[in-house]
Amino acid sequence: MDLSGKVALITGSARRVGRVLALRLADLGCHCVLHCHTSRAEAESLRTAIAGKGQEALVLQADLSDEEQARLLADQALAWKGNLHILVNSAANFQRVSLPSIEREQWDFALGANLLGPFWLAQRLGPAMVQNGAGKIINIADISWQAPWVSRIPYCVSKAGLVSLTAGLAKAFAPQVQVNAIGPGPVLFPEEYTEAQRQAVIERNLLKRAGTPEEIADALEFFCRCDFATGVFLPVDGGQSILGI
Ligand SMILES: NC(=O)c1ccc[n+]([C@@H]2O[C@H](COP(=O)([O-])OP(=O)(O)OC[C@H]3O[C@@H](n4cnc5c(N)ncnc54)[C@H](OP(=O)(O)O)[C@@H]3O)[C@@H](O)[C@H]2O)c1
How confident is the model over 182-232, as pLDDT tens digits?
999 999 999 899 999 999 999 888 999 999 999 999 999 999 999 999 999
Residues with CB under 6 Å of ligand 1 are 12, 14-18, 36-39, 63-65, 90-94, 113, 140, 142, 184, 186-188
Q: What's the pLDDT at 58?
A: 98
For residue 63, pLDDT over 80 is answered with yes
| Interval 11-22: pLDDT, tens | 999 999 999 999
Share of the chain above pLDDT 70, in %: 100
Å from CA of 17 to ligand 1 middle: 8
Q: What CATH number does domain 7-235 carry, 3.40.50.300, 3.40.50.720, 3.40.30.10, 1.10.10.60?
A: 3.40.50.720
pLDDT-based confidence at 234, cuts 50/70/90? very high
User: Three-state SS string across the chain, please?
Assistant: CCCCCCEEEECCCCCHHHHHHHHHHHHCCCEEEEEECCCHHHHHHHHHHHHHCCCCEEEEECCCCCHHHHHHHHHHHHHHHCCCCEEEECCCCCCCCCHHHCCHHHHHHHHHHHHHHHHHHHHHHHHHHHHHCCEEEEEECCHHHCCCCHHHHHHHHHHHHHHHHHHHHHHHHCCCEEEEEEEECCCCCCCCCCHHHHHHHHHCCCCCCCCCHHHHHHHHHHHHHCCCCCCCEEEECCCHHHHCC
pLDDT-based confidence at 125, cuts 50/70/90? very high
Task: Give domain limits for the chain.
Answer: 7-235
Q: What is the pTM of this model?
A: 0.98
For residue 245, pLDDT over 90 is answered with no
For residue 104, pLDDT over 90 is answered with yes
Ligand 1: nearest atom to the Cα of 211: 3
